[in-house]
């Protein structure tokens, strides 16, 4: 009997607690018709950013993002001219591999790649998740961003570890990209003709 009374009492308490929410509006939204406004930092699909005035890609083919990507989702196809300067041929992001970590955005010193606040990119086939330069650029056209010119000395690792040849390479290239002079990055292991698809990282 005592148990029964106790049970009824608790039932009433429970109903009162839940009853407080009866008159309130729902916190869910009707997705395809109503859409959530994504916060500005939200990390969605990877896009390439273009210069606001010229409409050209900001990318300087420095390959830093490709090196930073933990899931090898970025593949940059480039060609080297006779001076050793790289020219972008194709920038491929495999959204099927990408884990939306944002490390590529952090690695880029030229505000050229960004994780936009867009999230609707489902497709019927896996192949459609492979985005090439054109699509990455088109989707990225209306993405707002601030161009940050990072100063060169900051890019240099100031950590106590001995710097090796690897981090100094991109810096040399950055200088070449900024000043317009063609400093040969001198990469003996890579042949300019074999530039297409040649992965800069040793093993992944």
Q: Which residue in 45, 47, 50, 59 binds ligand SF4 (CB under 6 A)?
A: 59
DSSP codes, the chain: -HHHHHHHHHHHHHHHHHHTTTTSPPS---TTTS-PPPPTT---SEEE-B-TTT--B------HHHHH-TT--EEEEEEE-TTS-EEEEEEEEETTT-----HHHHH-SSS-EEE-S------SSGGGGEE-HHHHHHHHTT---------HHHHS--SSSPP-HHHHHHHHHHHHHHH--------TT--GGGGTT--SSS--
Nearer to ligand SF4, 46 or 116 (CB): 46
Query: Among residues 59 and 73, whose Cβ is nearest to other proteins?
Result: 73
Buried b (16+ CB within 10 A) or exposed e, 27-44: eeeeeeeeeeeeeeeebb
Please count the residues of the chain: 204
Given other proteins, ligand SF4, none, residue 106, with its beta carbon under 5 to 8 Å by kind, binds other proteins
Q: Site for other proteins (CB under 8 A): which residue of 56, 142, 146, 203?
A: 203
Please tell me whether residue 96 binds other proteins under the rule CB under 8 A: no
Restricted to residues 29-88, the positions that interact with other proteins (CB under 8 A) are 39, 41-43, 67-71
Residue whose CB is less far from other proteins, 18 or 54: 18
Between 104 and 143, how does the x/- string for binding to ligand SF4 read (CB under 6 A)?
x--xx-x-xx-x----------------------------
Q: Does 84 bind ligand SF4 (CB under 6 A)?
A: no
User: Rule CB under 8 A: is residue 122 a binding residue for other proteins?
Assistant: no
Nearest residue (CB) to other proteins, 6 versus 123: 6
Q: Catalog residues that contact other proteins under the rule CB under 8 A.
A: 3, 6-7, 10, 13-14, 17-18, 27, 39, 41-43, 67-71, 99-103, 106-107, 115, 157-164, 166-167, 203-204
């Amino acid at each position: 009997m005592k148990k029964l009374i106790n049970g009824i009492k608790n039932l009433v308490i429970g109903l009162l607690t839940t009853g407080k929410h009866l008159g309130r509006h729902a916190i869910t939204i009707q997705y395809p018709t109503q859409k959530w406004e994504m916060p500005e930092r939200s990390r969605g699909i990877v896009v390439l950013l273009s210069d606001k005035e010229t409409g050209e890609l900001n990318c300087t083919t420095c390959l830093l993002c490709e090196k930073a990507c933990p899931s090898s989702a970025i593949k940059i196809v480039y060609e080297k001219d006779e001076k050793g300067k790289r020219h972008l041929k194709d920038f491929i992001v495999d959204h099927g591999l990408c884990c939306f970590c944002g490390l590529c955005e952090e690695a880029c010193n030229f505000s050229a790649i960004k994780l936009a606040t867009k999230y609707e990119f489902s497709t019927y086939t896996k192949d459609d998740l492979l985005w090439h330069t054109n699509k990455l650029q088109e989707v990225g056209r209306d993405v707002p961003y601030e161009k940050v010119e990072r100063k060169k000395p900051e890019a240099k690792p100031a950590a106590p570890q001995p710097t090796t040849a690897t981090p100094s390479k991109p810096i040399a290239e950055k200088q070449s990209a900024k000043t317009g002079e063609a400093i040969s990055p001198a990469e003996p292991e890579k042949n300019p003709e074999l530039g297409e698809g040649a992965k800069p990282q040793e093993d992944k």
